[in-house]
Structures are given as C-alpha cells and as structure tokens.
Structure 1
Amino acid sequence: MHILATIFTTFCFAFIAIKFFKPVAIEVGLVDKPCERKQHDGHIPLIGGISIFLAVLAATLLWLPSTLELRMYLIASAMMVFIGALDDKFDLRVRVRIVGQIIIASLMIYGVGGYISNLGDILGLGAIDIGAFGILFTYFGIIVVINAYNMIDGIDGLIGSLSVNTFTSIALLFLLSGQTDYLSYPLILATATLPYLMFNLGFFKNETKKIFMGDAGSMFVGLSVIWLLTMGTQGDSASFRPVTALWICAIPLMDMLAIVVRRYKNGKSPFKPDRDHLHHLLQRAGLSSKQTLVVISFGAALMSGFGIAGEYFNIAESIMFASFLLMFISYALSIRFISRRASFK
C-alpha cells in the first residue's frame, strides 16, 4: 500500500510540475529552438527534467526516511539539474559541464563514501578489488554514464523510454534480491518520468503541449542511474553483480563509446554534437522516428532482460562480461554497416 501511495503521489507531482512550469519556461526563454541539428517545429519548453526532479524531490521527502545518503543524492541532483538548466539556456562550454559533474561526483564519493571498488569476477579469476583506485574509476564512471544518457537524447520518447527501462530493471533487481529498502528509489524515478513521456510523445494529440527533457533532465537521469547502480553493486549489502549494471544501461553506453571512437578517428571533439548517433543512423537508413524509437527501446529491454536473467540464474560473471564485449563488437559492426548503407541513400 505504501508503494502504491508513493507511485501515485510521484505521478501527480510530476504532472502538476509540467503544467505549472511550461508557461514559465516559455516566458523566460527556456526553450529548444529548431536548427540544422535539431529538426522540430516551434520552440519547445525544456522542462521535462525539472518536472521529474521536483516530483522525485517531493515524493522522497514525503515518503522515504531522511538518511544521509538520500540527502546527499537530492543535493547532488539539485546541482545537476541547475547546471543542466543553465546549459539548456546558455549552452555552456563542455569544460564547464565536466567540472560541474566532477564536483557533483565528489558529493557521492566523499559525502556518503559511495564508490566502485569491486568489479566482480568478470575475468573468471576471482573478484577484482581495485581498492582506492576505485575513486578515480568512479569519477570516470559517473562522467561516462551522465554523458551517455545526455548524448542519447535525440528523438521524441527515446530518453524517457530508456530511463523507464533502466529504472524499472533496477527496481526488479532490488526486488529479486530481497532488498526492498531501496526499491522505492527506482520506482519513484520511473514513475516521475511517465508524465514527461505522455507530453513528449503527444499523448494529448496537441503539438503545443509537447515538452523536451533538456540537458537538465538527461544529466539528472544519468546521475540517478549511476548512483543506483553503485548503491546496488557495491558494499556488503550489494543487491546484484557489477557486470549486470553494464546490461542495464547497455544502449546508452554502447552508443556513446561507439560515437566517441568514431569522432576521435575523424579528428573531432568527442563532445561535439552531430547527427551520427544510433537513432540518426536508423532514420537515415529508412526508419521513421516512431519505428526508430520502438527498435531502440525493444533492444534496450532485451539487453536489460538478458542482464536480469543472468543475475537470476547466476550465470558466471565472466560469461556475462564476455557476452557484453561480444555484443558491443556486434553493435559497432552493425553501426558501421548502417552508416555505410545510409550514406548511399
């Protein structure tokens, strides 16, 4: 009953926040304007992420016990949303965003002592404990995941669908492990995303009601994902294995890694925006925006399902890790094939 009340409250807060902040965003100019890289009609309010965060803030303060971990998460999230909103409004330089992400990562690492030190038995030689080096590894992991979810946000419904898939998968992993104390966190985040998806995908059949997630939202989602994955895989009360985390957020990670390598080979900045992401390539290969959304979302669900199955049936971590590497290689080759096909159209 408590879970149902939490979910209902979260959904209502998110919906109300969208209705309240939409005219405010238009008034202050917090909107996404069409350009060569952003092909949409009109100026779209960038309030999806702000509404999700406010719903999460309200629901957690109302329903969850006030712990140091929760307080640090909310402070870090508020800072991330603020930096993202500034980026949405003023298009901050990459180094400014990265510095902000490093500062926020420090809250997680030093504020609650949450960092990745155990990589699990991914090589079949025993658990890999990287000790204090895990602090640097965690900084790297936080920046990678935040920007992976930020970079995948390119067509209607994509970041929202991937977010719901990730948070729901984490909730299921907590449930399977019996770690119900943490179950409310991913459920709140998944529920808070649903009203955004309704507006973003045109549930109300009115283009003037459309909103976008914005960098405030995609970076907040990325921070929440890495926070939950670290909480779920590290420490004595770990709920699932580190290798499973790779499968839960496989599509954003693989898309980012593939495009960073491609940009580096072409002599471009890894953070310079372009139209060479997976969703762009699928569209250039002939799929519509809705078909692209379905294909990517279905693929993400399959990968999450494989990761959860591996956890449930206790498949060896080395096999799961090798399978992930094989999947990434297949993904990279497929992207090259799609890119070449698209270039001939």
Structure 2
Amino acid sequence: MIYVYLTCIYFVLIFFTIILSRKFSFYDFPNDRKVHKIKIINTSGLSLYIFLLIIISIYEYSYELELIISYGIFIVFFGFLDDRISLSASIKIICIFFPVFFLIFNGFELKSLGDYEIIGSLGLGKLSIFFTLLSVGLLINAYNYTDGIDGLLSSLSIVMILYIIFLIDNKNVISLLYFFLIPLIINLLFNVLPSSNNYKIFLGDCGSLFLGFFLSFLIIYANIYENIHPSYLIWSCWYPVYDFLYVTFKRIMNKKNFYQPDNNHLHHLILIKFKNNHLKTLLMINFINIFVLLVGFQVAKNIGNFYSLILFIFLYFVFWAVRGKIKFGKI
C-alpha cells in the first residue's frame, strides 16, 4: 500500500512542477543540435530530487546513502542554473566536483579494483583519490550524455537500479532503490509522451546530472559497503561509458572541444535509422543494454572476475570498431 501512497505523492509533485514551470517559463528550447522541435518543460529532475528528500525524511537509511542524496542538492541546484543560463563547462566542472570531493573524503574512496584470477589484486595506492574522482566525473558526464532522446536516461537508470537490487542482500538499501523506481518510471512515462502533449516533461540537467551523481556513488557504495565485486558492477553502466569514451576520443581526434555537445551519439544514429521514432530507439537500446549486461554478469559469475574484466575491455574495442563504420545522417 505504501507504494500506492508514494506514487500518488509523486504524481502531485510532478503536476505541481509542471504548473510552476509553465508559470515561470522553465523550458528547454530547441536548437540545431537538439532532437525536439518545440519548447518542452525540463524540470522533472526537481520533482525526482524532492521525492527522494521526502523518502529519507520519512524512513531511516544508512548514513552513506543519505549522504549521497543530501549532497546531491548541489548537483541539482547547479544543474537547474545550467538549464536556465547555460553555465560554461569549467564552471560546471567546479560545481560538480565540490560534492564529489566531499563524498570521496567521507568514505567513498576506491582503494582497490578487486581481486582477480591470474593477476591478483588491483590496488590503487596513492592514485585512489585521483582514480575515484576521474571515474565519478566520467560517469556523471556519461549519464548526462545519454539524456539525448526521450526516455533513454530514465530507462537505463531503471535497468541499472534493478540490477543493483539483484546483486545485493541489504533489505534497507533495496527498500530505498525500490522507492527510487517510482519517480523514474513516472518520469519515463511523461518523457515519452508526444511533443504535442502539454504534460511532456524532460529531466533537465538538474535531473540528468543528479542521476549520474547518484548512480556513480551507488556503484561505489555497492562495492565498498556491500562487497559487490567491480567485475559485476561495471556491466551496469557499460553503454554510457562506451558511448562517452567513443564520442570524447573522436572529438579530440578531430581537434574539437571534447566538452562541446553534439548529436554524434549512438542513440542519435539509431534514432535516424528508425526515422525519428523515439520509442523504437528506446526499446532497441534497452534490449541491447540488458543483453550485454546479462552476458557480462554470467561471465563474472560462471567463468571468473578476470574474464569479465577482459570481456568488458574487449567489447569496448568491438563497440569502437562497429561504431566507427557507421555514418550519421541528419535527425
């Protein structure tokens, strides 16, 4: 019954957000790079974050999980500002790294990448803080990059959270993650509405950056506090990581600003192939995502952690080779 109550609460939150956004003109306006052709409200990330604050104010969760959500307010605030006034890349990096640094120095430092057959333990030593910072920064931006077509970020987040739920045994954590699925599923439904629908709403940078922030530290939390081996966790985010690295390296190779946004992501390509059909594109990417995730999990479980890591690296080069042969048209 509690899920029904919380679902009702979130519907109230998102409708209230839509009303206020219309009043204050909080829209994402179209341009040459963006897929949508008319202005769309882009504040459902605010609803999602407020909902999580309500959850942790009602229920008791671990100090570490509540810390992630609490310090996410900085990400949400600066993401909201970016949606309104388009902050420069350097300012965004500084704003994002402030709460990231705080969490790293409060128990979220990756000191090892785990023990593996053949090669043994991969300790990070003095590079642990730098590696953690780099990994979180990469993941936050990687998830932000996936917010390029309707429903993709929300659906990838749903799959990842369900996977983490499957991996852990801690009922307290599982409870929070199930509650987290409520706004993600509802946001997905509102996000895939036709552009002509007055209730269509985007996560905005406040939502996409916060999701990247939360999911990044959820992976670290699962590793450090729930003892889930990295060879399992890496598969939860393979698509955002592969796509981010490919696009970033390509920009550098083409002597472009690596932080300059464009529409050269794999999901844009699939969108073109499906003649701008967002739903087909969404289903295709999620099918591939789930398939690769399950393969990676089975390799880690039945063959070994080392082979899971090798497969992860090998598939990235396969992704690069296949992706490099595909040419883009115009959305």
TM-score range, shorter chain: over 0.9
The one-letter amino acid of 2:165's match is A
Alignment correspondent of 1:262:
250
Q: Tell me whether 1:330 sits opposite 2:326 in the alignment.
A: no
SS at match of 2:198: helix
Q: Give the superposition deviation at 1:152.
A: 1.0
Deviation sequence 1:42-101 (CA, Å, 0-9, x none): 321111211111111111221234x43244222211111111101111111011111111
Alignment correspondent of 1:201:
192
Q: Give the superposition deviation at 1:9.
A: 4.3
Q: Give the superposition deviation at 1:123.
A: 6.9
Q: Give the superposition deviation at 1:343.
A: 5.2
1:115–1:135 Cα contact (<8 Å) kept:
yes
The one-letter amino acid of 1:300's match is N
Equivalent of residue 309 in structure 2, options 295, 299, 321: 321
Q: Tell me whether 1:80 sits opposite 2:75 in the alignment.
A: yes
Alignment correspondent of 2:290:
301
Alignment correspondent of 1:188:
179
Structure 1 residues 268 and 343: alpha-carbon distance in aligned structure 2, compared to 1, 3 A threshold: same
Alignment correspondent of 1:63:
59
Alignment correspondent of 1:247:
235
Moved more, 125-134 or 320-329: 125-134
Q: Tell me whether 1:108 sits opposite 2:103 in the alignment.
A: yes
SS at match of 2:36: coil
**Which sections of structure 2, spanning at least 5 residues, go unmatched?**
none
**Which sections of structure 1, spanning at least 5 residues, go unmatched?**
none
The one-letter amino acid of 1:104's match is P
The one-letter amino acid of 1:15's match is F
Equivalent of residue 134 in structure 2, options 116, 140, 143: 140
Equivalent of residue 212 in structure 1, options 196, 202, 214: 202
SS at match of 1:207: coil
Structure 1 residues 55 and 289: alpha-carbon distance in aligned structure 2, compared to 1, 3 A threshold: same
Q: Give the superposition deviation at 1:331.
A: 1.1
2:27–2:42 Cα contact (<8 Å) kept:
yes
Equivalent of residue 27 in structure 2, options 14, 25, 31: 31
Percent identity, please: 27
Q: Give the superposition deviation at 1:286.
A: 4.6
SS at match of 1:208: coil
Q: How many residues align?
A: 330
1:166–1:304 Cα contact (<8 Å) kept:
no
1:244–1:310 Cα contact (<8 Å) kept:
no
Alignment correspondent of 2:279:
290
Deviation sequence 1:281-318 (CA, Å, 0-9, x none): 1233455322211111111112222343345x353111
Structure 1 residues 298 and 189: alpha-carbon distance in aligned structure 2, compared to 1, 3 A threshold: same
The one-letter amino acid of 1:296's match is I
Alignment correspondent of 1:223:
213
The one-letter amino acid of 1:231's match is Y
**Partners in 2 of 1:222 and 1:216 — Cα distance?**
10
RMSD of aligned alpha carbons: 2.2
**Partners in 2 of 1:199 and 1:50 — Cα distance?**
14
**Partners in 1 of 2:330 and 2:50 — Cα distance?**
46
TM-score by length of 2: 0.93
**Partners in 2 of 1:120 and 1:34 — Cα distance?**
45
2:139–2:212 Cα contact (<8 Å) kept:
yes
Deviation sequence 1:106-129 (CA, Å, 0-9, x none): 22112x311111101357311212
